[in-house]
A = this chain, B = another copy of it.
Amino acid sequence: MFKASIYVNYKPSVLDPKAEAIKTALKRMDYDNVESVLFGKYFELVLAAKDEQAASAQVDHICDALLANVNMETYRFELTEISEVKA
């Protein structure tokens, strides 16, 4: 079993309106010391796979097909092997 921690963010060239809204709100709250804000999505998938290579290929495909809009977003992920969850 593998746990995939997946981060999906807008590409740097794409303006992120949510991050801009957070920046504006922080200014209004007098947090002038915040230099930059990045806003993204975070997924954790637990999946069964025979080895890390197979898990990596599957997570890559799931990200491309479902979790990220590859036109505007980039993703990265980390895989951790975990022991079987007891039923």
Residues of A participating in the B interface, judged by any CB pair closer than 8 Å: 1, 7, 9, 22, 25-26, 29, 31, 33-49, 58, 62, 65-67, 85
Given known A29-B66, A66-B22, A67-B22, contact A40–B41 (CB-CB < 8 A): yes
Q: Which residue of the partner chain, among B40, B66, B85, contacts A25 with CB atoms under 8 Å?
A: B66
Q: Which residue of the partner chain, among B1, B33, B45, contacts A47 with CB atoms under 8 Å?
A: B33
Question: How many identical subunits does the complex contain?
Answer: 2
Shortest CB distance A21–B (Å): 10
Sampled A-B contacts (5; CB under 8 Å)? A25-B66, A34-B46, A35-B85, A37-B44, A37-B45
Are B43 and A39 interface neighbours, CB within 8 A? yes
